[in-house]
Structure 1
């Protein structure tokens, strides 16, 4: 359920991002995720929540947009994000109208708006995050030749070509007092974009999933990792079915996976969920509640996992064109990898 959005609130730079543009923000409590974006992406959010409710269940809750000051107009996404960070205050919140022709988007990614979403990583003690970029082809129809060639090279040189997806980035908690190469001050090992572009190739793609799901030093043993993989599998299979029944095109969109990376907290959350099976849902946010008391109980329930479809700068609903087989190639292969991990021992 979406919460009311304050007209003014302090903002800080979002620290849990693993891929995407710079300039993303969150509020101090971490409940909101603010990302400068184009009118095209806003239009996709509006249309999805209005007309595609099953798909919208797997989008981060859309809470409106922020409009930048007029004198800041015409900035790039990165510039707009930097301007918002500098201000540290949310300007007046407005819901943007859907453009008359959302297909016509400037090839120069400039924006005067930011989309406000519910933060998928909020509520976890130690959120482990994985961003999987989808598609064999990464560029949209309006991309110029240079961009097509650049993106085709990325696809041909990575796991996109064979599997229809790549690891765009990961952030995985390694346990208390963790140290070592790539481990930040908070104990997270950060796998940047070069991990999925250079280190991970077709022959060792399974290693990325294991590095994300099994962290003994953090208390996430084989039993817990496999249970998380099975939970992810159920939701990604559902996403696959929904997209197979819809007509859309989503270039360079991603699947965002989050789960509780503190093994003690994860096991406790799973044990609590086993006593109340209805709470074991994607992000504990899709279940229905009958009254305010039930809602408060749900909000207090410890988080286990979440799966979202994200990044819609080049997405649109396309009646008459059939399912998005480009994105589905990647989703089906993610299903295959998760199925193998959930069933077999390491």
Structure 2
């Protein structure tokens, strides 16, 4: 039986970079307005065993809602404004986090698909060259980091990442991974943003290792993810993050279902590929070098931040 929801049964999904999405009342699932192409990709992912190695690194798919249940007019930068007249139901990657810090990293060097009008192809090429995308395969977009004093998320807009130059990427990533000093014994407070070093460094290492595994899985496939992102989530609550780091010592090495393990055992981070409206299989075309470049860049950036803190 196909699930069904109305707006009165769902809530706005209040995470930076996810406009138009809603969440179920319990927070476990998100409902995302989508074009048929994205739904078709998720359906292919479920049934095609050739994509099994990638499944642990993509949000779990729970079906779609009938057309017109949720609609949203958006311009994705490729085909112009269109009405998304259906929605897909996915796991909420922030579910189980008390204070999720989230960063959406746009991957790849190409942001046009075979159906993109020529004028938009040129515009997208100019944007890629004017930002960090063309040279590195990554562009930071919106992110949020929770304040240690107010507990509220501090949001950084998409314009920040779009203005960064290549040599500023490391500093940009550090803005998402600030390091706080240990809490003052009298006030119980630390710096306004960030986890303490003893917690942040293991989180960074775990995220780095996950990106390496995503890279290995994606390099073995012939497909093209155009306009997709790498979503990074980690816990900002000090106590919950420290508990999660302690559980990381029992993280089963080589377990392909380690992301499920993260949820069940409340590890302090999550890293997954998202946004597949312009994804296609590309038999005979070889690996997607632009996205692989972006994943390599992310590994280097995370290793660089680890080195800074260590």
> Structure 2-normalised TM-score?
0.85
CA contact (8 A) 1:282 1:307 kept: no
CA apart distance, 1:150: 2.2
**Which string of whole-angstrom CA distances, capped at 9 and with x for unpartnered residues, describes residues 18-76 of structure 1?**
325x3211112211111111111111111112211111111100000011348x8xx65
CA apart distance, 1:325: 0.7
**Which string of whole-angstrom CA distances, capped at 9 and with x for unpartnered residues, describes residues 275-318 of structure 1?**
x4349989964349xxxxxxxxx74x334110110010110111
Counterparts in 2 of 1:31-180, with a 5 A limit? 31-51=28-48, 52-69=51-68, 76-78=72-74, 109-177=82-150
**Which string of whole-angstrom CA distances, capped at 9 and with x for unpartnered residues, describes residues 136-168 of structure 1?**
121112111222122222212211122111001
**1:189 equivalenced with 2:154 (yes/no):** yes
CA apart distance, 1:189: 1.3
Task: Say how many residue pairs are matched.
Answer: 293
SS for the counterpart of 1:312 is coil
**Which string of whole-angstrom CA distances, capped at 9 and with x for unpartnered residues, describes residues 176-231 of structure 1?**
32xxxxxxxx5211111101012x22121111221112241356122322211111
Counterpart CA distance in 1 for 2:84 and 2:242 is 43
Counterparts in 2 of 1:239-318, with a 5 A limit? 239-274=214-249, 276-278=250-252, 285-287=259-261, 299=264, 301-318=265-282
Name stretches of at least 5 consecutive residues in structure 1 with no aligned partner.
80-104, 178-185, 289-297
Counterpart CA distance in 2 for 1:190 and 1:29 is 24
Label 1:30 to 1:153 Cα distance change in 2 as closer, same or farther (>3 A).
Answer: same
Label 1:207 to 1:283 Cα distance change in 2 as closer, same or farther (>3 A).
Answer: farther
SS for the counterpart of 2:59 is coil
Counterpart CA distance in 2 for 1:69 and 1:133 is 29
Root-mean-square deviation (CA), in Å? 2.8
CA contact (8 A) 1:48 1:56 kept: yes
Label 1:152 to 1:134 Cα distance change in 2 as closer, same or farther (>3 A).
Answer: same
Counterpart CA distance in 2 for 1:109 and 1:223 is 47
> Structure 1-normalised TM-score?
0.77
Counterpart CA distance in 2 for 1:280 and 1:130 is 26
CA apart distance, 1:134: 0.7
**1:19 equivalenced with 2:21 (yes/no):** no
CA contact (8 A) 2:177 2:194 kept: no
Name stretches of at least 5 consecutive residues in structure 2 with no aligned partner.
181-190
CA contact (8 A) 1:219 1:262 kept: no
**1:224 equivalenced with 2:224 (yes/no):** no
Label 1:269 to 1:66 Cα distance change in 2 as closer, same or farther (>3 A).
Answer: same
SS for the counterpart of 2:260 is coil
CA contact (8 A) 2:259 2:270 kept: no
